[in-house]
Amino acid sequence: MKTIIYHNNRCSKSREGLCILEESGADVEIRDYLHVPPTYEELDELLKLLKAKPLDIIRQKEEIFKEKYAGKTRTRKQWIQAMIKYPVLIERPIVVKGDQAVVGRPPSLIKDLLSNND
C-alpha cells in the first residue's frame, strides 16, 4: 500500500516525517504541495480522513493568513479554496496511508499511523 506525504522540503518536521517513512520501508509517494497544490477534492478527502475542519490544518501564523484571513469567518468551501490558492497555509507534513491520515506534528504520529496499518 502506497503511503502519501504532503511534503515541504524546507520544513524540518516534514523532512523528519519523510525520514521516518523511508526508514520504515514504506512505499512513499511525495507530494510537493507548494509546487502542485492539492485539488479541492483532494483537500476535502484529506479533511475527512483527518476528521478535521479546514482551520485545523491551516497554518494561522503564516503571514498570508494574518494579512488576508485572520479574524474572518469563511465556509468550509472558502477555506479549502484559500488553501488551494495559498498552499503555504497547509499544515505539514500530512501523511496518508489507506483510509487513515495524520498531521505529522509531532512526527511520532507518523510512526503511530504506520504501526496501525501493519
Q: Write out the catalytic residue numbers.
A: 11
What is the distance of C-alpha 51 from the center of its chain? Answer: 13
Neighbour-count burial for 14-26, b at 16+ CB within 10 Å, e otherwise: bebbbebbeeeeb
Q: Which burial class, exposed, middle or buried, applies to 99 when counting CB atoms under 10 A from its CB (0-12, 13-18, 19+)?
A: exposed
Q: Residue 45: what residue type?
A: E
Q: Which of these, 19, 98, 45, lies nearest to 57 by C-alpha position?
A: 45
What are the beta bridge partners of residue 28?
A: 3
